[in-house]
Amino acid sequence: MSASCHRPCDYCGHTIALLYCKADSAKLCFSCDREVHSTNQLFSKHTRFLLCDICDDSPATIFCSTESSVLCQNCDWEKHNNNNNNSMSSKHERRPLEGFNGCPCVNELLGIVGFEDIEKKSLLSSDFESGDGYFRYDIEGVSDMFVWDTPSVVSLDDLISTSGSSHNFQAMEVPLLPKNRKAACGMHKEEVLSQLSKLAKSEPLDLDIEQYVLSGNLSTGFEGGLEPKMFPSFEWHRENSEHINQVVPLPTYTEEVPVKHSTSAVWETHNYGVNEGTPTHSLTNETLPTTPKAVPCELMSQERDSALLRYKQKKKTRRYEKHIRYESRKVRAESRVRVKGRFAKMKD
DNA sequence: CACATAAGTTGTGGCGTCTTAGCCC
DNA sequence: GGGGCTAAGACGCCACAACTTATGT
């Protein structure tokens, strides 16, 4: 069993989860992430991170370029600091990772995971298959990426710090930084590209915003009683990000309604064009996660149904406001003696 | 198994401190 | 670009009753 088996998407239940949403405490694949976080403006504000390569359960905040892995704080600490300060791993070159929010398009997502050199068109023209299947990266620029991005063993001299500083983030005498050094999608590159490839196919080509608006695909939002679908594109939490607070129209509102066909478990997506009054049906098998051949389709469909239901129920019951579990404790706390806001000892 | 007791954990709110972002020069 | 200032938000601290879990009878 691969590591990816430990990280099923919380939403669809069977695609490999690559992202982690802190606000939802949910592991999501790229496709479901978009679906969930494009629902409304509030959800689009959720910050998402890549999933930790080691524990598969926490948001990754550190990228270890030596091993090409993304790690959460705990795993990073255990791997790089845990009584191991003299080990090789403590000399690994790492850098902090940032999350993103909003509803980034595929091009933007490529930039976020560090595949700036790949264009969406390349993704569309490519043939990705991950997991047990084949994986061809005949995309322009991708082969380069995997050349440098494979775990590289540098010489011992390279690992020896020259400055004598104690922390681990110092620049080291390492070979020239590789092309695309921003790439930081960890050990699941194939899956990342596979999912983004599928996502790209479900997206309108050329998401050039101005073109999109000019071409009339964007309505003012007041026609047909539809609300404007203007969401922040995404906020990539990087200092030099150009995309911060960019506002782009959401091309189409995609509400996925599970429609079970009598003969086969096929999911249909009702795409409601922003300026369209009637929904247009489009089969989105290609955007769905690949189904393991051994598992009956009906079973997968049921699992997905129940996973979907669980997720939506959980979302409905989520509390954003402060929740008092014990009113008596609240009353007690309010009447307690305080010194500068802190609880003070009771006088005898 | 039922009950009693001990030990350990949780939750509560206001304030101070720290961090971060934004602005101005 | 960098330093200084300000505002906003996040977070830790505090004591102890209430609650949960473990152990003994």
Residue A151 has pLDDT above 50, yes or no: no
Instruction: Check residue A317 and give its pLDDT.
Output: 56
Instruction: Specify the higher pLDDT residue, A251 or A45.
Output: A45
Domain boundaries, chain A: 19-120+182-200
3-class DSSP assignment, residue A6 = helix
Residue A320 Cβ under 7 A from any strand C atom: no
**C1’ B3 / CA A330, Å:** 31
Tell me the CA–C1' distance in angstroms for A326 and C19.
10
Q: Is the pLDDT of residue A347 over 80?
A: no
Q: Closest nucleotide (CA of A239 to C1')?
A: B21
Rounded distance between C-alpha atoms, residue A53 and residue A49, angstroms: 12
CA of A341 to C1' of C5 (A): 27
Contact in structure between A170 and A163 (CB atoms under 8 Å): yes
Q: Return the higher-pLDDT residue of A1 and A328.
A: A328
On whether the CB atoms of residues A10 and A309 are closer than 8 A, the answer is no
* Phi-psi label, residue A148: left if phi above 0, alpha if psi -120 to 50, beta otherwise: alpha
Residue A267's pLDDT band, with cuts at 50, 70 and 90, is very low
* Shortest-distance nucleotide from A327 CA to C1': B12
Three-state DSSP class for residue A212: helix
Cα(A35)–Cα(A29) distance, integer angstroms: 10
Residue A330: CB less than 7 A from any atom in strand C: no
Q: Which residue is nearest to nucleotide C18 (CA to C1')?
A: A329
- Of residues A269 and A137, the one with the higher pLDDT is A137
CA distances to A48, A60, A61, A171, A200 from A98, rounded to whole Å, are 9, 9, 6, 19, 23
Report the predicted TM-score, pTM, of the whole model to 2 decimal places.
0.46
Task: Indicate the range of A15-19, A285-289, A334-338 predicted with least confidence.
Answer: A285-289
pLDDT-derived band at A321 (thresholds 50, 70, 90) equals low
Which residue did the predictor score with more confidence, A162 or A126? Answer: A126
Q: Which of A46-55, A94-103, A190-199, A212-221 has the lowest mean pLDDT?
A: A212-221
* pLDDT (mean) for A211-240: 35
| Residue A56, token pair as written in the block | 């598969």
Protein-contacted positions of strand C (CB under 7 Å) = 12-19
DSSP state of A177: P
Query: Could you say which DSSP state residue A256 is in?
Result: E
Would the Cβ of A316 be found within 7 angstroms of any atom in strand B? no
The SS3 assignment for A97 reads coil
Q: Say yes or no: Cβ of A331 under 7 A from any atom of strand B.
A: no
Q: Which two tokens stand for residue A107?
A: 């091009």
Paired tokens of A130: 């991950």
Distance of CA A345 to the CA centre of its chain: 47
Question: How many C-alpha atoms does A269 have within 13 Å on its Cβ side?
Answer: 18
Tokens 């007041």 label which residue? A222
Rounded CA-CA distance A184/A119 in Å is 17
